[in-house]
Amino acid sequence: MHLHADHALFFERRQPLWRVVSALVLTAGVLVVNTSASSLPVSSVGCGAAASLLAVSRIRRVEIALTWALLLGVAAGIGGLFFQEGAHAFWATAARVLCGVLWVLWLGTQLDWASLRQLLLRVGLPAGVVGTLDHALMHGVLTQREWVRRRDGARLRLGAAHLPLATWSRLLGEGALQAFVRLERVEESGLLRSSVPEEDGCDEGVSIEQVDIARGDEVVLRGVELVCRPREVVVLCGPSGAGKSSLLRVLAGLDAPASGVLSRLGTALTPETPLSGRLDGRVVLLSQNPEDHFVASTAAEDITWALRQRGVDASEAHRRCVEIARQLRIEHVLERPCHALSFGEQRRVALAGLLVLQPKLLLLDEPTSGLDPVAAHELCTLVDESLQRWGGSCVWATHDRHALPSRAQRVVLLRDQQVLFDGPVTEGLSRPWLIRAGLAVPRDEEEAC
């Protein structure tokens, strides 16, 4: 069995349930016999059988696995010799521990998380508990990758393969801090995706009148006036720090406006509106980092997660997942773990988890960031087709003025805590307005004018 990608808990193909159960029963039986017999011959036979199975399994880096197993066995044998005295006690203890380690290693070649998850649900473990384990596993893998990226970056900067102990402590601390930040963002994404749609709400688009928006204690936008009509696509542009992401968070309901009134899909939001009153299942937000969306380990589980949270039947959720995956051309990655996908595939999976909900207001924060021109054009086309299919509105925040949905007719430029321009795309993205917005570098003759 070849293991998938860079983590042994994920296989290329999900194992049949009977094979998983058989491996679990066989390993458990051997471990019980090995422990209760306390016999050197029995443990030796167990070691030989496990080593043969490992060789047949063709596990990657099996030599490293066997080396660790031997080291653990020798260490246990030395412990047995120290406490019990005698060569027989040494070899018996070493063989018993080595047998257990080898069988557990072999079980790891037969058991992947997707199959184990299915088994846990079959035996009656609550879906909420399994979902928590799934989320914890994915978060752990992503945190590990974050530490690896920071380690590699430190090696390049220092020009050394072996990092000082002080550097390791900082890397681990910064990685842990990033993990907590990601947990907070995933929780926010989960709140949005699992929120129940307003049944009595009407689709009146978005209307903002004299609204101040703050990031922490700092006001980033003052006196904002903006209208997004039903079925309209509005492009939001501005330099870094202009307040695009902060405006999207307020539109999504994650943050309250600092002052003023915002009307969204027929519901008024004020600074006093609590979080529960600001969230609406008809509104979704795609953040800049797709990893901030993943609450499940595989693409299919993540796409269907919000539907299941909203009470949709499992078969219907799966049907809608396959349908949206086919539209976004990611049906080939549905069974793959989210951490093993390319950045572009992660972006599409995160977007699929939102589009499958058929939102009335789609908020996209730098959706083409990190994508090549072809992938960016495809994403624009896919969003266009999806919005056309169920008639939603969209606010598209971006720096990339070359990759925009064809349905976008209006552009809003932000700079210096205010709306600088609100009008047709062709005019707003003209060179004079881009220079005023800080999105283009003026030439000498333009500076002179």
| Cβ count near 234 (within 10 Å) | 22
Radius of gyration of the chain (CA): 28
Which distant-in-sequence residues (6+ apart) come within 8 Å of 383 by Cβ? 351, 362, 364, 367, 394, 396, 405
Within 13 Å and on the Cβ side, how many CA atoms surround 251?
35
Instruction: State if pTM tops 0.95.
Output: no
Question: Bridge partners of 286?
Answer: 364
CA 380 vs CA 54, 293, 374: distances in Å:
48, 20, 10
Q: Output the CA torsion 221→222→227→231 (10° steps).
A: 10
pLDDT recorded at residue 390: 82
Q: Apex CA 159: angle with CA 153 and CA 160, to 5°?
A: 95
Residue with the larger pLDDT of the pair 10 and 335: 335
**Tens digits of per-residue pLDDT, 405-417?**
888 889 999 998 8
pLDDT recorded at residue 100: 83
**Tens digits of per-residue pLDDT, 265-286?**
888 999 999 998 999 999 999 9
Which distant-in-sequence residues (6+ apart) come within 8 Å of 446 by Cβ? 431, 435
Q: Which two tokens stand for residue 418?
A: 């205010």
What is the amino acid identity at position 185? R
Q: Is 353 in contact with 302 (CB distance < 8 Å)?
A: yes
**Tens digits of per-residue pLDDT, 175-190?**
888 888 888 898 899 8
| Cβ count near 447 (within 10 Å) | 9
Q: What b/e sequence results for 323-342 when a residue is b if at least 16 CB atoms lie within 10 Å of its CB, and e otherwise?
A: ebbebbebbebbbbbbbbbe
Q: Is 217 in contact with 246 (CB distance < 8 Å)?
A: no
Between CA 365 and CA 122 the distance in angstroms is: 39
Strands 233-237 and 393-397: parallel
pLDDT band for position 346 (cuts 50, 70, 90) = very high
Above 50 in pLDDT, residue 5? no
Average pLDDT rounded to a whole number, residues 309-323: 92
Domains of the chain: 17-118 (no CATH), 206-448 (3.40.50.300)
Listed range (21-35, 330-344, 434-448) with the worst mean pLDDT:
434-448
Q: Is 42 in contact with 147 (CB distance < 8 Å)?
A: no
Average pLDDT rounded to a whole number, residues 118-133: 83
**Tens digits of per-residue pLDDT, 355-395?**
999 999 999 999 988 888 888 888 898 888 888 888 889 99
Q: Is 264 in contact with 209 (CB distance < 8 Å)?
A: no
Residues in the chain: 449
Residue 411: φ, ψ to 5°: -130, 140
pLDDT > 90 fraction of the chain, expressed in percent and rounded: 26
Residue with the larger pLDDT of the pair 17 and 72: 17
Between CA 74 and CA 72 the distance in angstroms is: 6
Above 80 in pLDDT, residue 437? yes
**Tens digits of per-residue pLDDT, 126-170?**
888 888 888 888 888 888 888 888 888 888 988 888 888 888 888
pLDDT recorded at residue 13: 66
Which distant-in-sequence residues (6+ apart) come within 8 Å of 265 by Cβ? 198, 201, 202, 203, 204, 205, 206, 280, 282, 283, 360, 361
Between CA 166 and CA 80 the distance in angstroms is: 37
pLDDT recorded at residue 6: 47
User: Nearest Cα to 428, choosing from 152, 144, 235?
Assistant: 235
**Tens digits of per-residue pLDDT, 210-259?**
899 998 888 999 999 888 998 899 999 988 888 999 999 999 999 999 99
User: Contacts from 31-35 at CB under 8 Å and sequence distance 24+?
Assistant: 31/100, 31/103, 34/96, 34/99, 34/100, 34/103, 35/96, 35/100
To which residue do tokens 């009407």 refer? 202
Above 70 in pLDDT, residue 117? yes
Sheet holding 259-264, edge to edge: 218-228, 206-215, 259-264, 267-269
**Tens digits of per-residue pLDDT, 93-103?**
777 877 887 88
**Tens digits of per-residue pLDDT, 46-93?**
888 888 887 776 554 444 455 555 555 555 555 555 555 555 666 777
Above 70 in pLDDT, residue 446? no
Q: Is 53 in contact with 66 (CB distance < 8 Å)?
A: no
pLDDT recorded at residue 427: 92
To which residue do tokens 């907070």 refer? 184
